[in-house]
Amino acid sequence: MRVPNPPDAVPGAEIIRQLQRHGIQDARLLQVMSSISRAQLLPPETRDQALIDGAVPIGCEQTMSQPVVVAAMTQALRLRGAERVLEIGTGSGYQTAVLSRLAAEVFTVERLPTLSLRARGILDGNGSENIHYRIGDGTLGWPEEAPFDRIIVTAGAPTFPTELFRQLIENGILVVPIGDDEGQQLTVVRKSNGEPISEEIMACRFVKLIGQEGWFAC
């Protein structure tokens, strides 16, 4: 009798199929995402949802984004391997793990200590050595480590994140969902001559970006 595989025993092929169905074709990105266990980064009570094509609760009223959203945001960063990336919203650590394998250094900020410490414990245990963690208001970025080559925001901003944009290098890329609590547009912003050049690439729905320059300020 065939013994069924546990939920995340063979995530690679299924994740690749999901991403390719949504038009993600970057070979390097597909390889990285197929090698990362979503289940390992989920709390025990939701690990059985690791392979669903959707967001999954991680506690603290937060979610792990669906793989296609993680892939679309990462692909928009156009990482080549030498970049310093600022991530706003560590969450489960899933996006963080993807970034750490595609960039030189990742600086990740999370306002909820429970999530930051849990993600760090898992990722440190996996041998990730190029990730730097901070607990605090992500809307203010990480000024002491600025400027950054790339910035990614994994929560919905009510308005353009001015302070984060200030911490981006010239010709750098910022990826951020912008909109209200009903939905946002995933927006890719390039800094050109100090000014933002923006393009909306897909509709999305994230939890609110909370902080001094986020929803608390509205």
Residue 12 lies in a domain: no
Reduced to 3 states (helix: H, G, I; strand: E, B; else coil), residue 156 is strand
pLDDT for the residue numbered 9: 41
Read off the amino acid at residue 86: L
- The pTM of this model reads 0.92
Residue 131 lies in a domain: yes
Catalytic residues: 65
Residue 63 lies in a domain: yes
Cα–Cα dist 21/31, whole Å:
15
Domain housing 205: 52-217
Residue 44 lies in a domain: no
Residue 130 lies in a domain: yes
Q: Could you tell me the two tokens for 25?
A: 């074709």
Residue 39 lies in a domain: no
pLDDT greater at residue 216 or residue 44:
44
> How many structural domains is the chain composed of?
1
Residue 43 lies in a domain: no
pLDDT digits (tens, 9 = 90+) for 129-145: 999 999 999 999 999 99
Residue 15 lies in a domain: no
**Residue 116's CATH number:** 3.40.50.150
Q: What angle separates helix 67-77 from helix 11-21, to the nearest 10 degrees?
A: 70
For residue 10, pLDDT over 70 is answered with no
